[in-house]
Amino acid sequence: METEQAWTHLGAGEGVERDLAGTLQSVFGFSGFRPHQEEVVRALLDGRDVFAVMPTGAGKSLCYQLPALLLPGVCLVISPLISLMKDQVDAAKAIGLKAAFLNSSQGAAEQREVAAALRAGELDLLYVSPERFAMDSFTALLGSVRLGFVAIDEAHCISEWGHDFRPDYLQLAQIVKLFPSCPIAAFTATATRRVARDIIGKLGLRSPYELRASFNRPNLFYQVLPKTDPDRQLLAFVRSRPGQQGIIYRMTRRSVEETAAVLCANGIRALPYHAGLEDKVRSAHQEAFNRDETDVVVATIAFGMGIDKSNVRYVVHGDLPKNIESYYQETGRAGRDGDPAHCLLLFGYGDAPRITYFIEQITDHTARRHAQNCLQDMVRFGSAHVCRRKQLLAYFNEQYPEENCGTCDVCAGDAEEVDATVEAQMLLSAMVRTGNRFGANHILDVVAGANTQKIRQFGHDQLKTYGVGSGKSKRYLQRVLQNLESQGFVQRSGDRYPVLGVTRRSGAVLGGEKRFRMIKPVETAAVWESRSGADEAAAPCHMPLFEALRVLRKQIAAQQGVPPFVVFSDRTLREMSASMPSNATEMQCVGGVGAHKMAQYGDAFLDAIRGFRQEHPALEPLVVEDYVVLPPKRSSRSGTVLETRALLEQGLGVEAIATQRGLTAETIMGHIEKLAADGCAVDIDSLVDTKKLEPIAAILREQERDDLKPVFEHFGGGVSYGQIRLARAWLRLRAAGAA
């Protein structure tokens, strides 16, 4: 084939370096690579296969677009959704790349034009679907052109162990056979190590350069709330974020329609998206979202794969996702520009049986068991009382190095810890007394004292534990049961009709030797409002100018028939409105303004900035940091922490505050540490005998890392984590005073 004869290895010795930095700046408008981008680019330039797991927002498109510019021939990009290809091509063209797509949405004449451009060597990038690649006529066309390399997006779709397996992706195994000398680059934002091995094997990658970037998205805030009245909760959440754009995921088409209708009835621009809508309607709704003509898309999981929209400020799951990979992928559609974004999950255990029903339709036993395990991982995530970020990263075999991420509801103090030992004993006792052979609903009915036929049939109304929890709501008891399971005190067995049983760990709680604590999420408007400012941790800018530039961007985008983010991202506009460039040289120092975009849009935006400066002569440019994704610096002073602070100022001690608020002393000590870290004046000397803190502080000083666990282990459990936190806060306050 001509492709095989034409493709030659272009190592660093020929045309050395290919002016990577210059091309990065002049074409893409960036002064430097984001983490890991350069390694992937260089591997492709050296003719190597690549397998890259890069989280959304890490800039994987640049990893194949830059080599496509520098290597001879065309880069074939295989992307799963034809509905997104136009946006991808528009974005590539906007920076000066010669790009096109070939799919069934085009007429015969347009397809012939693209094929002619391909044969003539006039394209840097050609986007196609895996179904298009499987056509013999298309592979014959590829055999007549110079093929630089193949980039496969959403590569996890080839794995039957991945969260979005697509049989049509299996055809991509033919690439190596048809084009044995052509490098292949496979990209995905989410893959466990098992899925990664499967992808590499199925594609036949040859000793690929492997990159497994961190799965951590520091700009995303993760929050889980119990699902009570989803439409009411979703409306309150969206209302707290006026003008921001977001995605709400629901499980069924009916719930999508109902939620969208509720939002619209309350004056919010919202559109539904699901497979039951006509193709034209779905496309129109997606276009409206891309063009900022609607604020919210309420969708099933059919929406969003590969979405290029960078300014999604929140993603909400109104129902439980079927696995953590799906949840991670879907939340990853928020904050692609690196600015802060919010990810909310409304967790209700009642969603699990609905998902289980579909899992039970899987005929292969191994695959069915895998899906069941994935669902249980998702349930544990929703009900566990530990850092959300740590749980997500641990699923992908990555350890989060810090004890407190500061950007999830658990670490930020939005979720309070409560003692639920008595309720836990009720439930565990009911399981033991019923023989560990009944499901969750029956156990809850026994403890709540329900009068059901099943309880009467088995005589469980005669048990000592019958009705002992009648003073508690069933919803609260269910929450305790979920936490018992997530913390390993209860286990499930059986596939079709799972039953609950106690574990070895349960004995200590039943015997009163161990307290059982769980997180009690606090759902208040104040908490949501404190998390609603998506610009809270974003780079500073002159907001009136930022809003004026957004209006100008929307006008230009409408004239050109492209989504606004294709013109410039919110992040680029924010930097413009901070630095307020006055000429072309200064404008091209703004991240995301390359030569092509400068030529297309530069004058219009410079004119707008000059006009703004004339109207506001006293305003000065602000210092803008380099184009780097930084963790947002959030205040730890959430509503619950501030309530503790108010009681401290009244002179109450730790135990008194804990009693008054119905919380544990450990939680209050954690609040005190947050206040101290936030610069609040806390008189720890008046709260505790600091002589008891000195030995703890001595061990903290010896540590290289600011970690609590080694200190806890050093004292053999002789001091609590709360006491260690107090000692750490005491040290910080003393250091601040000395400074």
State pLDDT tens for residues 288-329.
Answer: 898 888 999 999 876 655 466 888 999 999 999 999 988 998
Domain boundary among 521, 556, 589: 521
Which residue would you say has higher pLDDT here, 247 or 720? 247
Whether 95 and 64 share a structural domain: yes
Q: Residue with structure tokens 């397998």?
A: 51
Distance separating alpha carbons of residues 610 and 59, to the nearest angstrom: 31
Whether 421 and 396 share a structural domain: no
Whether 516 and 606 share a structural domain: no
**Position 168 confidence tier, pLDDT thresholds 50, 70, 90:** confident
The pLDDT of residue 638 is 53
Q: Using a pLDDT cut of 70, give the percent of the chain over it.
A: 87
**Position 16 confidence tier, pLDDT thresholds 50, 70, 90:** very low
Predicted TM-score (pTM) of this structure: 0.63
The pLDDT of residue 201 is 94
Whether 402 and 438 share a structural domain: no
Q: For the domain that residue 606 is a member of, what is the CATH number?
A: 1.10.150.80
- Kindly state whether residue 621 falls inside one of the protein's structural domains: no
Dump pLDDT digits (tens) for 540-552: 778 889 889 989 9
Q: Residue with structure tokens 């003719």?
A: 47
Displacement of CA 616 from its chain's centroid (Å):
39
Which residue would you say has higher pLDDT here, 431 or 661? 431
**Position 479 confidence tier, pLDDT thresholds 50, 70, 90:** confident
Whether 107 and 153 share a structural domain: yes
Whether 193 and 225 share a structural domain: no
| Mean predicted lDDT score pLDDT of the chain | 83
> Has residue 726 got a pLDDT over 90?
no
The pLDDT of residue 392 is 93
Yes or no: say if 388 and 224 are a contact pair by the CB < 8 Å rule.
yes
**Position 162 confidence tier, pLDDT thresholds 50, 70, 90:** low
List the structure tokens of 362: 């899987």
Q: Give the 3-state secondary structure of residue 521.
A: strand
Calculated CA dihedral for residues 150, 154, 155, 161, nearest 10 degrees: -170
Whether 147 and 199 share a structural domain: yes
Whether 240 and 331 share a structural domain: yes
DSSP string, 204-231: T--S-EEEE-----TTEEEEEEE-SSHH
Q: Residue with structure tokens 């989504």?
A: 563
> Has residue 676 got a pLDDT over 80?
no
- Kindly state whether residue 536 falls inside one of the protein's structural domains: no
Range of the domain at 475: 417-521
Phi and psi dihedrals of 303, rounded to 5?
Answer: -100, 130
For residues 1-11, average pLDDT: 38
Q: Please state, as a whole number, how many other Cβ atoms lie within 10 Å of the Cβ of residue 504.
A: 9
The pLDDT of residue 416 is 66
- Kindly state whether residue 632 falls inside one of the protein's structural domains: no
- Kindly state whether residue 526 falls inside one of the protein's structural domains: no
- Kindly state whether residue 627 falls inside one of the protein's structural domains: no
* pLDDT winner (highest mean) among 48-57, 406-415, 476-485, 496-505: 48-57
Which residue would you say has higher pLDDT here, 14 or 414? 414
Q: For the domain that residue 436 is a member of, what is the CATH number?
A: 1.10.10.10
Q: Using a pLDDT cut of 90, give the percent of the chain over it.
A: 34
Q: Which residues contact 513 (CB under 8 A, 6 or more apart)?
A: none
Whether 409 and 423 share a structural domain: no
Domain boundary among 354, 388, 414: 414
Q: Which residues contact 351 (CB under 8 A, 6 or more apart)?
A: 227, 251, 319, 320
Domain boundary among 414, 439, 473: 414
- Kindly state whether residue 620 falls inside one of the protein's structural domains: no
Q: For the domain that residue 28 is a member of, what is the CATH number?
A: 3.40.50.300
- Kindly state whether residue 534 falls inside one of the protein's structural domains: no
**Position 609 confidence tier, pLDDT thresholds 50, 70, 90:** very high
How many distinct structural domains can be found in the chain?
Answer: 5
**Position 524 confidence tier, pLDDT thresholds 50, 70, 90:** very low
**Position 2 confidence tier, pLDDT thresholds 50, 70, 90:** very low
List the structure tokens of 658: 């804990």
Dump pLDDT digits (tens) for 449-463: 999 999 999 999 999
Dump pLDDT digits (tens) for 263-291: 998 889 999 998 888 888 888 888 889 88
> Has residue 336 got a pLDDT over 60?
yes
Distance separating alpha carbons of residues 660 and 337, to the nearest angstrom: 43
Tell me the pairing of strands 517-521 and 415-419: antiparallel
Cβ-based burial of 243 (10 A; exposed 0-12, middle 13-18, buried ≥19): exposed
Q: Please state, as a whole number, how many other Cβ atoms lie within 10 Å of the Cβ of residue 674.
A: 26
Whether 194 and 224 share a structural domain: no
Q: Give the 3-state secondary structure of residue 376.
A: helix
Whether 564 and 432 share a structural domain: no
Q: Please state, as a whole number, how many other Cβ atoms lie within 10 Å of the Cβ of residue 228.
A: 11
- Kindly state whether residue 631 falls inside one of the protein's structural domains: no
Whether 389 and 410 share a structural domain: yes
The pLDDT of residue 342 is 94
